[in-house]
Amino acid sequence: MEPNKYTNSRLLFERAMKVIPAGVYGHLGPVEGSMIPPSAFPFFAREAKGAYFWDVDGNRFIDYMCAYGPNILGYRDDDVDQAARAQGELGDCVTLPSVKMVEFAEQLVATVHSADWAFFAKNGGDVTSFALMIARAATGRNKAVLVNKGYHGVAAWTKLAGNSGIAPEEIANNLYVDWNNIGQLEALISAYPGQIACFIASPYFQGNFVDNQLPEQEYWQKVRSLCTKHGIVLIIDDVRCGFRLDLAGSDHHYGFEADLICFCKALANGYNVSALCGKDELKSAASSVFYTGSYWFSAVPFAAGIATLNKLKAIQAPQRLQELGSRLTSGLAGVAAGHGIDLRISGELPMWYMRIANDPSQVLHQEWIAACVQRGVFFTNHHNHFINAALTEEDIAFTLEVADDAFRAVKKMHPELEGVS
């Protein structure tokens, strides 16, 4: 397979560097660790449809990052886009909110098992921050327990000591436990009696640069019991995997109920809206916190969200994503094994993480990812990947063909692997 060329991407990046900090900022930036080496990756997209995007050089990619999660049905889904266009003809960002906001909230309350109400914003970090404020308002406490190496957005409270731009007092009330470690949580509750407002975590551990980890048996039931006993608000950050595992919420998937649950990425198939859902007993506290934004009442994303949830239900999306994820990941592991390589799959299959386990340097993994991207299959390094419902059997077959060719290319760069099969 002939590797892609990215002439226009590089020229556009040079223009971007002159007018945009870092050229491309945040997790999509070529210097942030997901694109190694940067020369193997395109930097700018031209268009997208279904399971694919095309870069500004015309190269097509099967996209397993799915815009880092928002694409769950397929890019430019006809039903979702039609609903958004219909609402756009009536109005979007208006002085007063649309009926679509009420309809969307009603649908979420009817869909999400632990939801009695819904509040809308734009980004996942908007609603994780709001959840923290609600917990503090409801309990009169300041401290929050987080999981080590968890991710809840980019607000100051989510950062670590030493991060650029963060004052120590902004994270002074954070306490940390390791994932799946009930003993550490119990110890913190004993050490800070009556001071902990909330425990916030993703439904399973979705860290970068490490294998993802599922909750141990009864983990969430024990956490739920501790939080209830000690008056601690249990917040689930379902921003990444919400609706991928269970349309009723990932807390429902794992057999417990959150007090507050945060959604964003798959909520409206790429239209910019996030949601915080919560229990009735926290509704008054939520109402007491002034929290809003210039575009948070936009009607078009609400209409897109309604259509997205309707379609996710119609196609039984969690089951479909699980089946596609299983076929893809078992195929990738099989191709790798044929080359003597241990490709470790972890996490939930609709949102899997993969790592070449018999190369602790991570160089081989990065070279293989780069070779796949250069051949039209878009993976990134050290981050979970995503399945979308537009993916086909033909796409999976092509992906496995590319993976095989990429392993062969990598082995040519490593003579010590040539005898391994």
Question: In this predicted model, what pLDDT tens digit does every residue of 91-149 receive, in sequence order?
Answer: 999 999 999 999 999 999 999 999 999 999 999 999 999 999 999 999 999 999 999 99
CA–CA distance, 271 with 295 (Å, rounded to integer):
12
* In-domain check, residue 387: yes
Q: Flag whether pLDDT at 419 surpasses 90.
A: no
**Final residue of a domain: which of 273, 298, 314?**
314
pLDDT tens-digit map of 232-252: 999 999 999 999 999 999 999
Q: What pLDDT sits at residue 416? A: 73
pLDDT at 61: 98
237, 366: one domain: no
254 CB-contact burial (10 Å; exposed 0-12 / middle 13-18 / buried 19+): middle
Task: State the Cα–Cα distance between residues 267 and 87, nearest whole angstrom.
Answer: 17
341: left (phi over 0), alpha (psi -120 to 50) or beta: beta
> 333-373: per-residue pLDDT in tens?
999 999 999 999 999 999 999 999 988 888 999 999 999 99
DSSP state of 58: -
Contact status, residue 137 vs residue 285, Cβ threshold 8 Å: yes
Same domain, 41 and 96: no
Pairing status of strand 377-378 against strand 353-356: unpaired
128 and 270 housed in the same domain: yes
Q: What is the pLDDT of residue 311?
A: 98
Q: Are residues 252 and 337 in the same domain?
A: no
Residue 310 and residue 333 in one domain: no
Using the 3D structure, point to which of 314, 339, 370 is the last residue of a domain: 314
CATH of the domain at 45: 3.90.1150.10
Percent of the chain with pLDDT over 70: 98
- Nearest alpha-carbon partner for 408 in 362, 372, 379, 363: 372
pLDDT of residue 171: 95
Identify the DSSP state of 50.
Answer: B
pLDDT (tens digit, 9 = 90+) per residue, 187-236?
999 999 999 999 999 999 998 888 999 999 999 999 999 999 999 999 99
Both 213 and 145 in one domain: the answer is yes
Q: d(Cα 368, Cα 9) in Å, to the nearest integer?
A: 21
Structure tokens at 45: 């997209």
Give the domain CATH number at 148: 3.40.640.10
Which tokens belong to 38? Answer: 């940067």
Find the domain containing 220 and state its range. Answer: 78-314
Mean pLDDT across 315-343: 97
Inside any domain, residue 270: yes
Flag whether pLDDT at 27 surpasses 90.
no
Q: How many domains does the chain have?
A: 2
| pLDDT digit string, tens, across residues 136-169 | 999 999 999 999 999 999 999 999 888 999 999 9
- Asked whether residue 238 is assigned to any structural domain, the reply reads yes
- Domain-embedded: residue 71: no
**How would you classify the pairing of strands 52-55 and 60-63?**
antiparallel
**Which pLDDT does position 413 carry in this prediction?**
86
Closest CA to 42 of 413, 34, 50: 34
Query: Model-level pTM?
Result: 0.96
Residue 50's pLDDT is 98
- Please confirm whether the linkage preceding 301 is cis (ω < 30° from 0): no
Instruction: Dump pLDDT digits (tens) for 75-91.
Output: 999 999 999 999 999 99
| CA distance linking residue 66 with residue 54, whole number of Å | 13
- Given a cut of 70, whether residue 420 has pLDDT beyond it is no
pLDDT digits (tens, 9 = 90+) for 225-234: 999 999 999 9
Q: What is the rounded CA–CA span in Å between residue 90 and residue 404?
A: 50
Q: Is residue 206 part of a domain?
A: yes
- Does 320 lie in the same domain as 199? no
Q: Is residue 125 part of a domain?
A: yes
Q: Are residues 37 and 177 in the same domain?
A: no
Residue 55 and residue 149 in one domain: no
Residue 70 lies in a domain: no
112, 215: one domain = yes
Task: Read off the pLDDT of residues 34-64 as tens digits, 9 standing for 90 and up.
Answer: 788 899 999 999 999 999 999 999 999 999 9
Q: Is residue 68 part of a domain?
A: no
Last residue of one domain, picked from the residues 314, 348, 368 = 314
CA 110 to chain centre: 23
Question: Could you tell me if 136 and 49 lie in one domain?
Answer: no
Question: Same structural domain for residues 228 and 324?
Answer: no
